[in-house]
A = this chain, B = another copy of it.
């Protein structure tokens, strides 16, 4: 590789996704962070809100100015809320920046589906078409050389990586898929609300948006592409008293008889050469802490011979593989680098 580093900017640097991008990009050998951007805190040092970056990130936050970004940067990450990205990304693309968007605005191909679930106007259809859905282990080839990648949602990442191999193999009945998903609180972002208030979350387990979470159509869109016909899932989201981590516990009826060992083999083959997906051996299941702070997705299985159902357990760190880590993995694919570049940090345990 040449000595010249790729220059990246981060819009939304004061959210949890933004500071996690910074954490990983600081150790990325091919990249230089040239601008940390926040519309709400422009002008302030980033360490004012995030003292953990003291003496590490010396830059002040800048405002959102596409032309100014294009003068400094080659690639921009937009870790901005849904609704904001939809408007900002076109402005960034038009000035020649490559964009990796972490919001939900460009994940759904069909604008009307977007509007039904997100409850606000969809971005331009052409742009929805152009966006490469960056589920790296599944759609990585499309990401190579792309200019604009839409980074998957946290729940969909854990869920789809867990479901796609067995669904592709035709071993489960797509009509029977039930997803019981649990997330740590960081998934709700750094905004303040009763939903993120310590007194309401600590020592508590909640469900929310049952059957209504905006990640449902994202999951269904991908599963439908696999099967070639519409797949509809039941999907429940829970808020768990922890900061990081997603677990998707997934249920489906098995077509025919398949042992846990068969599943392990199927998945290990499917993810051969993709180091961020790790398959537990038969009889073992992953826990969220086993991927904490890392870009891994760990998957395990249980076959219930009594009911003929398969249970799949898939875990990620929602801030890493579910957001910033996968976005950097997409950067790596986009630039033609090894997909693990800058991402080989082991989970933090305990």
Contact = CB atoms under 8 A, between A and B. Distances in A.
A229 interface: no
A195 to B, nearest CB: 9
Interface in A71-89: none
18 contacts: A27-B346, A53-B347, A55-B275, A55-B278, A178-B309, A180-B180, A196-B199, A198-B198, A198-B201, A198-B243, A203-B242, A205-B240, A210-B285, A234-B304, A240-B240, A240-B241, A244-B350, A251-B251
Interface string A220-239: 00000000000011101010
Contacts of A350: 16, 186, 190, 199-200, 202, 243-244, 319
Given A199-B185, A199-B190, A348-B348, A51 B243 contact: no
Nearest to A349: B52
A200 B230 CA distance: 41
A27 B190 CA distance: 30
Contacts of A304: 211, 234
Copies per assembly: 4
B234 A204 contact: no
A83 to B, nearest CB: 21
Interface of A: 16, 19, 22-23, 26-27, 50-56, 178, 180, 182, 184-186, 190, 192-194, 196-208, 210-211, 232-234, 236, 238, 240-245, 247, 249, 251, 275, 278, 280, 284-294, 298, 300, 302, 304, 306-307, 309, 311, 313, 315, 319, 344-350
A53 B27 CA distance: 20
Contacts of A27: 344-346
A347 B203 CA distance: 13
A300 B206 CA distance: 12
B51 A210 contact: no
Given A238-B249, A307-B233, A288 B205 contact: yes
A190 to B, nearest CB: 6
Given A52-B347, A241-B241, A285 B207 contact: yes
